[in-house]
Amino acid sequence: MKKAINCPICDTKTNIVELKITWGKNTKRCFCTACGTYFIWPEPAKTAVYDTKYNEYFHRPGDARKAGIMAERIAQMIYQHEAGHTILEVGCGNAWTLWLLKQIGFDVTGHELSEEYALKIAREKKLDMLYGDFEYTVYNNEYDFIYAGHVIEHSWYPKDWAIQCNNLLKNKGYVYIDTPTLEFYDGRLGDYKHFRTRNPEEHAVIFSSKSLKFLLEKHGFKIQKTTFEQNYHSVQILAQKVENE
Ligand SMILES: [Zn+2]
């Protein structure tokens, strides 16, 4: 029997369209018309590697500019919402944003999948680092603010990813997610730049603002603010952890 494909965000089985995209030999490119999520199905046996080489590609001049913009934006959001000062950045990559936030005076911790790369960042940039599968590694610390820029779309388990953010935050803590969205794309889906990653199966899920809100609300968050960046074809959501009863 053919196994039904279900949306990794809203779980519908009946609103899935298979896209005519040929990248990736053993996977399908699907779109959920119910919540607007694009996703790859099934998870490939061999997934993309996020090692030192992968991360050191992102040392381009534009990456420095982006790090500055995000550090300022995060600092202003924390002041505006009177959030606490402990920040975790998931998938911090070059760690430039985190390094800048530390200079401003925040208590920062980074996270990377690769142990080798995380230790390299810790050593070279003098930053506290965590490593491992973000969704499933037990981390003891509690944070006031979690930031993840262009990270959640790489997760094959976005629900568990959101649950982990909730677990790691203090009550009333904030998560700020920046991720690609298809909402500004008006061309043919097959040509879309966020499908054209170095490894063709890097972006497991591309959210719509609707599906990202749905995911966060379902897993214990209240949406505070949604913004878009048309130039990057991305959506940013700030959400607050709902206080436990
Ligand atoms: Zn869906």
Flag residues of the chain having pLDDT under 70. Answer: 1-3, 22-24, 187-193, 244-245
Token pair in block for residue 168: 């790691």
Q: How far is the CA of 216 from the centre of ligand 1 (A)?
A: 14
Angle at CA 233, nearest 5°, toward 117 and 37?
A: 85
Query: How, if at all, do strands 38-41 and 28-32 pair?
Result: antiparallel
The whole-number pLDDT of residue 4 equals 82
The whole-number pLDDT of residue 6 equals 93
The whole-number pLDDT of residue 201 equals 84
Q: CA-to-CA distance for 234 and 243, rounded, in angstroms?
A: 28
Amino acid present at 192: Y
| Residues forming beta bridges with residue 174, ordered by sequence position | 145, 240
Q: How far is the CA of 187 from the centre of ligand 1 (A)?
A: 21
Token pair in block for residue 29: 């490119």
Q: How far is the CA of 230 from the centre of ligand 1 (A)?
A: 23
The whole-number pLDDT of residue 45 equals 85
The whole-number pLDDT of residue 187 equals 62
The whole-number pLDDT of residue 245 equals 59
Q: Looking at residue 83, what DSSP letter applies?
A: -
**Among candidates 185, 223, 243, which has minimal Cα distance to 38?**
185
Q: How far is the CA of 128 from the centre of ligand 1 (A)?
A: 36
Q: CA-to-CA distance for 234 and 162, rounded, in angstroms?
A: 18
The whole-number pLDDT of residue 46 equals 85
User: Distance of alpha carbon 180 from its chain centroid, rounded?
Assistant: 9
Instruction: Count how many residues are written for the chain.
Output: 245
Token pair in block for residue 239: 């959400």
Cβ proximity of 117 and 52 under 8 Å: yes
Give the DSSP letter string of 128-172: EEEES-TTTS-----EEEEEEES-GGG-S-HHHHHHHHHHHEEEE
Q: How far is the CA of 162 from the centre of ligand 1 (A)?
A: 16
